[in-house]
């Protein structure tokens, strides 16, 4: 995620970054510009009496309305996924902190505090990678045995949670934790797998296939035929106008695609790297105080 | 569900699948095309002075606005059902994993672990079919007695949950699980029937009858009378325009109908087969580690 | 509720039922048709130079936009109530099943199982009637004493829940249920009164009075004055157009009114009768297995 | 709140109440009517060639679109507050009933039942007044000591909840209630202060100041300059049209202001008086059965 | 936050405050006014036959529609953050009160009551500053040791919660609190870090970078090129109209930016100072009654 000041206008208007739709679409914009010039040339020189097309504008106006509403629907659903992804990571932060704080207040042996500090941090680092290309063990702080244990599993995050639940049960058996302490800690530890499940859902379920296909077909047909309606009215100027409308409409769809899966490394993706490191850092200072 | 890359434009624009609205509507599109040609022919040759109809366009513009808003409302509610269905299945995934992880951490006898692994998997497989045509016992991993027991029940998923609750109570009586352990496991097991109930609700309650009827009547009247307004302005070209508008408006309604009940086998339906198998797989590796 | 296939177009377009807005509005539609014919007659014969009214159309276009947005707001809020009513009943189904499953797994004496089966079913039947005209005791499966007890109460559903809580406490005192068992059962039983309270809220709180009044005044003024704008442009044809616009706009408001209170016996109301019977049936097979 | 039949059209269209926006705005409507007449007089007699203004209409059309969307946003947020206020009161009803039912099922001494019946009722009556001008002790059913105790507190509702928690702890110490009973009752009693906190939030946080200011400036400028665009097109008739548009747009804003704070005594406010009395009544019959 | 009467129209229309968009934008408004005058001058004197631009208006009409929908989307998301921030603080108020009320009902030693009163208040004061520029210890009511303890931590709010959890565990060990009492108190204390986490999320995650950039580019291009379409139609009057449209569109974006991060000291920010002091005050009177 790019950190920026949302109130700085000039900086944002005249700035181009990798994720700017201008950077992404410049080839298509040039194509539409030249394409419209060509249509203008033909209409002006060969079909100068195509007045019937003049009224076409009203049709594009109605369809433009439907298209705008659909694009806003698209933007809304994409943004909701992005924001839900952020909210779920926020809940993981909360549960991690609450778990660490409750554990440290229980004054467990130092070794156990270190164990939980290690694995709460591991969990955040693990799911960050899990939501990209799969977890790499070398990023995590694991013992040899733990690696051997986790390698046997399909789903690494569940394994890390299991390691924590096992230690809780051991401590309960040893009489260090009461039954009710475990109940209270379970409130937060239970949330760890809820977070990873929700993020997997966002990652693996894009907008239904037929919608994606229909939106693309509609936008494509609309912007590619638009020049026919413009040339009669604006002549060669049409190319500027058609290019701008193309830029606006396609940008909205492109942006929605960008933020729909928010767990990658793109400019608009959530800062999961930093969040995982913050969880590790904060939990560390809470639990390892010596 | 079709897995696809939402960012691939060309692939999606020039691709036709079974669930594409072009495939579904091609007969109707041809009909509208010919119908408009016919009207154009009549108007041009017999009612050439029907200028009064020229202004009809403004009326279609207002009504088109109302219709677009209603179609977006329709799309929103259908998408919400689809997404809620996915969310409920996601919660089932989470509860299944949490339950498995907590159970394995409690170090039950291997036989009990296997029992829960079997029935957590059974539950997912069962409701997947339950939400289509009813559960088939041969798909599930059941003993003879269990089949006999389940056959007596109206609602198979409840029966599977009952089998798990019974085992929990047996383990509690045997002193293997404490009262508080059961309380913690109940947190997740309680979610199983919540999931199936929510999915049944989505499946059995389409949008109210009168709305469905009104939307269809409105769209039908709108698109069938549209050519009258177009012919005066665009002559024979009207048939292309009317067909495209028909395609856009009816597609939106058709797509909403497609995703409203997301538990079937259609292209746009949720991948419940895969999700059920993943639950079975993950829970299996967590609980049966020998 | 009418059960129907939302994908059947022809069936729905050419079908008229009691709750179709065409059936409800036919008198008003005929009135508007004749009223517009009358205005057309007067304008054409006596005020043929009322050109000033021609531009009135643009005013109706702006106002039509505001009106459409308000009608969509109205539709959204009405649908939300309808859907929330359904969701709450769905939660009751879930809580009823979970409660029955947990109780049967606890292996209570057969008499107690029967007692809870009876009252879980009673509760659903009771609130179904309670949300219409008040509960009738003869529909419920009650003993004489229970009827005597419930008659003293203001709020019958609370009384049925009380009967269940009392039995739970008796079983706890008798040592058959542990304290933690009651805690777990309370999770679901607590939801019973939440459901009835939420439904009472939906039933007793229509959209604020001033909104209802304002919407009706706005729609009425809009559709009744609309013919003045149309006659100049479309002559006698105006009556068809005005009638269709009237049909569309008033239908949306009428449909919203129809589904706002979803607990009655109308075509669009929720199938609470069937749901209550299903709860009774399923809970019965779970708890009374002999 | 006015109780009314939302399906009665004629009654609502030709009815004027204190909260009708016609009643609220009649002075402003007359002012706009005369103001537009004046502008019409000046334009017709002195600036008869102000044709440039004719096209102004298109500008008002675009701006009218923006304004409508903002008004719908305004309506949505105001309605959400109103409905959330209602929902929170509904939750209080549910928690009150559940608490009463659970308490009575625990068969406490009659004196304790009466104590809780008194204070559950007191709480509802108290927050109803608390959300208006502050609680008056004479409305509540309190002993002298309790009044003395509550007078020392900043926040009366918290005090009433404290009285109930104290009694619960006393009963627990006396061995009448078990630890788990208190846990279960806490589920509902905890909701009492959540309700009052949510209502205070709705009451004390109107829409952000700058929005309110911007909306009013926008609406005011729009409706006051509107006549300039109308007079060229409609002459003296403009006054009727401008007045109607003023009525529609300003009404939407006025209605949103009306329902934004829903705890007062206005026609559109929630029936908190009746709800508080119903809580008192129902809880009374549940707990005091002799 | 400015406290104001949302029903006072004249006061709000003719009032200018620091956060009014008129105050923020006056330089830009003057610039657009003069810029449009300049364009008008050039077009009228040098390109008097630029009729082609007359129809440009229709293009701006379509684009204005897309822009309005996007601005409403922007307003909605910004408002949702603002309102969620308020809701989370409301939950902190509720949890603080509930915690205080439950603690005082447990009749702990006076010293412990004072300890919790101090730290519940500290927490609210702490996160208020934490969400601005970081907590200042001198604002909090802390002992020397507590300051030394908190200085070692990355995240002060977690430290304060830890202090409370530690005392709860000490009281449990000393036999003053039962296990179940701690469970009940945990319900509320657990919410403290949820609140701070949610607020950090709102503060640190503005709308995705590419959206912010795209909106600003779109609005900028739209309003800066608008005069070209207006001058042909309205001559020198265009400057008034263009300035007003600029004011309206840019204001909506500016207002959204204003309320997106609601924890600062701006006019539209949430009254976190007052809320923190109210929490401190109310909790104080509940817990320190001598």
CA of residue C107 relative to chain centroid, distance: 39
CA distances in angstroms from A15 to A20, A267, E190, listed in the order given = 9, 14, 44
* Residue indicated by tokens 């209603």: B70
Size of interface D-E (CB pairs under 8 A): 170
Which among A73, A197, A198 is the nearest to B72, CB-wise? Answer: A73
Q: Residue B5: pLDDT band by 50, 70, 90 thresholds?
A: confident
- Rounded Cα distance, D123 and A197, in Å: 41
A73/A100 same-domain check:
no
E54/E166 same-domain check:
no
Chain E, residues 267-286, CB within 8 A of chain A, namely: none
Average pLDDT score over residue span C125-146:
91
- Rounded Cα distance, B182 and D133, in Å: 48
Residue D258 at interface with chain C, using a CB cutoff of 8 Å = yes
DSSP class of C277: H
The top-scoring range by mean pLDDT among A225-229, D193-197, E232-236 is D193-197
Q: Which residue of D has its CA nearest to C149?
A: D289
For chain C, give the mean pLDDT: 88
3-class DSSP state of E266? coil
User: What is the nearest CA distance from D106 to chain C, expressed in angstroms?
Assistant: 7
B174/B283 same-domain check:
yes
In a domain, C65, yes or no: no
Size of interface A-E (CB pairs under 8 A): 169
Say whether B153 and C234 touch across the interface (CB within 8 A). no
Q: Which parts of chain D register pLDDT below 70?
A: 1-3, 6, 10-12, 48-54, 289-290
Q: Which residue of B has its CA nearest to C66?
A: B66
pLDDT digits (tens, 9 = 90+) for A131-161: 998 888 988 999 999 999 999 888 999 999 9
User: What is the nearest CA distance from B114 to chain C, expressed in angstroms?
Assistant: 19
CB B164 within 8 A of CB B189: yes
Interface test with C, best of B171, B209, B257, B259 (most C CBs within 10 A): B209
Average pLDDT score over residue span E162-187:
95
A221/A255 same-domain check:
yes
Chain A, residues 163-182, CB within 8 A of chain B, namely: 165-166, 168-169, 179-180, 182
- Please list every residue in chain C whose beta carbon sits closer than 8 Å to the beta carbon of residue B156: none
CB C126 within 8 A of CB C276: no
Note the pLDDT of residue E71: 93
Total residue length of chain E: 290
A19 phi, psi to nearest 5 deg: -95, 0
Which among E58, E179, E206 is the nearest to A6, CB-wise? Answer: E206
Which among E86, E187, E237 is the nearest to D205, CB-wise? Answer: E86
Candidate from B26-30, B80-84, C188-192, E118-122 with smallest mean pLDDT: B26-30
Note the pLDDT of residue A10: 67
- Please list every residue in chain C whose beta carbon sits closer than 8 Å to the beta carbon of residue D101: 158, 161-162, 165, 193
- Please list every residue in chain D whose beta carbon sits closer than 8 Å to the beta carbon of residue E234: 52, 55-56
Q: What percent of chain C has pLDDT over 70?
A: 93
Size of interface B-C (CB pairs under 8 A): 169
Average pLDDT score over residue span A199-223:
90
Which among E158, E207, E218 is the nearest to A286, CB-wise? Answer: E158
A281/A182 same-domain check:
yes
User: What is the nearest CA distance from B289 to chain A, expressed in angstroms?
Assistant: 8
3-class DSSP state of B266? coil
A149/A255 same-domain check:
no
Say whether C205 and D86 touch across the interface (CB within 8 A). yes
A113/A221 same-domain check:
no
- Rounded Cα distance, D258 and D274, in Å: 20
Q: Residue C226: pLDDT band by 50, 70, 90 thresholds?
A: confident
Average pLDDT score over residue span A227-232:
80
In a domain, D152, yes or no: yes
Q: Write down the ipTM of this complex.
A: 0.93
Q: What percent of chain D has pLDDT over 70?
A: 93
Q: Which residue of D has its CA nearest to E99?
A: D190
- Rounded Cα distance, D105 and E52, in Å: 83
Residue B120 at interface with chain A, using a CB cutoff of 8 Å = no
In a domain, B104, yes or no: yes
Contacts of C214 (CB under 8 A, 6+ apart): D20, D21, D251, D252, D255
pLDDT digits (tens, 9 = 90+) for C151-176: 988 899 999 999 999 999 999 999 99
Residue D124, Cβ density class (10 Å: 0-12 exposed, 13-18 middle, ≥19 buried): buried
Q: Which residue of A has its CA nearest to E261?
A: A6
Task: Spell out the SS3 assignment of E167-208.
Answer: HHHHHHHCCCCCHHHHHHHHHHHHHHHHHHHHHHHHHHCCCC
CA distances in angstroms from A157 to B45, B46, B186, B282, D81, listed in the order given = 74, 75, 22, 11, 40
Say whether B214 and C255 touch across the interface (CB within 8 A). yes
B139/B233 same-domain check:
no
Interface test with D, best of C62, C91, C173, C269 (most D CBs within 10 A): C62
In a domain, C1, yes or no: no
For residue B10, pLDDT over 70 is answered with no
Average pLDDT score over residue span E132-138:
87
- Please list every residue in chain A whose beta carbon sits closer than 8 Å to the beta carbon of residue B100: 158
Chain A, residues 193-232, CB within 8 A of chain E, namely: none
pLDDT digits (tens, 9 = 90+) for D188-234: 999 999 999 999 999 998 888 888 889 988 988 998 888 887 887 78
CB C268 within 8 A of CB C1: yes
- Please list every residue in chain B whose beta carbon sits closer than 8 Å to the beta carbon of residue C290: none
Chain A, residues 139-158, CB within 8 A of chain E, namely: none
Note the pLDDT of residue D20: 79
How many domains are contained in chain D?
A: 1
Note the pLDDT of residue B1: 61
DSSP class of A120: H
A157/A281 same-domain check:
yes
Q: Residue E184, by phi and psi: left (phi above 0), alpha (psi -120 to 50) or beta?
A: alpha
CB B126 within 8 A of CB B140: yes
pLDDT digits (tens, 9 = 90+) for B175-186: 999 999 999 999
Note the pLDDT of residue A84: 95
- Rounded Cα distance, C222 and D244, in Å: 10
Q: Residue E265: pLDDT band by 50, 70, 90 thresholds?
A: confident
- Please list every residue in chain A whose beta carbon sits closer than 8 Å to the beta carbon of residue B179: 179
Residue C15 at interface with chain D, using a CB cutoff of 8 Å = no
* Residue indicated by tokens 């839900």: A84
Note the pLDDT of residue B210: 86
CB C195 within 8 A of CB C7: no
- Rounded Cα distance, A179 and A186, in Å: 11
Interface test with B, best of C55, C77, C94, C281 (most B CBs within 10 A): C94
Which among B59, B194, B257 is the nearest to C94, CB-wise? Answer: B194
pLDDT digits (tens, 9 = 90+) for A91-136: 999 999 999 999 999 999 999 999 999 999 999 999 999 999 888 8
Average pLDDT score over residue span A186-197:
95
Say whether A69 and E69 touch across the interface (CB within 8 A). yes
Q: Residue A27: pLDDT band by 50, 70, 90 thresholds?
A: confident
Q: Residue C54: pLDDT band by 50, 70, 90 thresholds?
A: low
Which among E56, E158, E180 is the nearest to A97, CB-wise? Answer: E158
Say whether D168 and E233 touch across the interface (CB within 8 A). no
Q: Helix E209-234 crosses helix A238-260 at what angle (to 10 degrees)?
A: 160
B200/B107 same-domain check:
yes
Which among B9, B255, B267 is the nearest to A214, CB-wise? Answer: B255
Looking at chain B, which subunits does it touch, using at least 3 CB pairs closer than 8 Å as the criterion?
Answer: A, C
pLDDT digits (tens, 9 = 90+) for E202-221: 999 888 888 888 998 898 89
In a domain, A229, yes or no: yes
In a domain, E88, yes or no: no
CA of residue D289 relative to chain centroid, distance: 35
Note the pLDDT of residue C39: 87
Q: Residue E153: pLDDT band by 50, 70, 90 thresholds?
A: confident
Chain C, residues 36-95, CB within 8 A of chain D, namely: 52, 55-56, 58-59, 61-63, 65-66, 69-70, 73, 77
Say whether B6 and A260 touch across the interface (CB within 8 A). yes
Average pLDDT score over residue span C54-61:
78
DSSP class of C207: S
For residue E138, pLDDT over 70 is answered with yes
For residue C289, pLDDT over 70 is answered with no
A51/A157 same-domain check:
no
pLDDT digits (tens, 9 = 90+) for A237-264: 888 888 999 999 999 998 998 888 899 8
3-class DSSP state of E68? helix
Size of interface A-B (CB pairs under 8 A): 169
E136/E278 same-domain check:
yes
In a domain, D3, yes or no: no
User: What is the nearest CA distance from B245 to chain C, expressed in angstroms?
Assistant: 18
For residue C99, pLDDT over 70 is answered with yes
- Rounded Cα distance, E262 and E45, in Å: 50
Note the pLDDT of residue A174: 95
DSSP class of A178: -
For residue A1, pLDDT over 80 is answered with no
Interface test with B, best of A65, A74, A158 (most B CBs within 10 A): A158
Cα angle: C254, vertex C260, C261; to 5 degrees: 120
For residue E134, pLDDT over 80 is answered with yes
User: What is the nearest CA distance from B209 to chain C, expressed in angstroms?
Assistant: 6
| Boundaries of domain holding B29 | 24-82+206-254
- Please list every residue in chain E whose beta carbon sits closer than 8 Å to the beta carbon of residue D165: 101-102, 104-105
User: What is the nearest CA distance from A20 to chain E, expressed in angstroms?
Assistant: 6
In a domain, B15, yes or no: no
pLDDT digits (tens, 9 = 90+) for A52-89: 666 777 788 888 899 999 999 999 999 999 999 999 99
């Amino acid at each position: 995620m790019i950190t920026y000041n949302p109130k700085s206008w000039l900086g944002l208007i005249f700035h181009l970054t990798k994720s700017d739709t201008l950077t992404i679409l410049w080839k298509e914009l040039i194509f539409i510009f030249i394409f419209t010039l060509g249509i203008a040339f033909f209409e002006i020189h060969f079909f100068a009496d195509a007045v019937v097309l003049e009224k076409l504008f009203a049709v594009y106006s109605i369809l433009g309305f439907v298209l705008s509403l659909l694009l806003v629907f698209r933007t809304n659903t994409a943004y909701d996924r992005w924001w839900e992804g952020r909210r779920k990571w926020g809940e993981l932060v909360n549960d991690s902190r609450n778990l660490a704080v409750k554990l440290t207040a229980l004054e467990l042996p130092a070794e156990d505090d270190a164990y939980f500090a290690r694995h709460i941090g591991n969990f955040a680092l693990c799911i960050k990678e899990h939501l990209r290309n799969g977890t790499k063990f070398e990023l995590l702080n694991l013992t040899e045995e733990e690696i051997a244990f986790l390698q046997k599993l399909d789903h690494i995050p569940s394994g890390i949670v299991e390691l924590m639940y096992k230690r809780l049960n051991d401590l309960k058996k040893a009489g260090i934790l009461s039954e009710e302490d475990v109940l209270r800690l379970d409130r937060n530890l239970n949330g760890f797998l809820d977070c990873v499940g929700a993020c997997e859902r966002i990652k693996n379920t894009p907008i239904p296939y037929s919608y994606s296909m229909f939106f693309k077909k509609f936008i494509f047909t609309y912007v590619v035929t638009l020049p026919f309606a413009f040339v009669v009215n604006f002549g060669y100027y049409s190319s500027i106008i058609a290019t701008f409308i193309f830029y606006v409409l396609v940008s909205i769809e492109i942006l929605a695609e960008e933020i729909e899966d928010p767990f990658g490394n793109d400019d608009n993706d959530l800062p999961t790297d930093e969040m995982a490191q913050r969880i590790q850092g904060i939990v560390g200072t809470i639990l390892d105080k010596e």
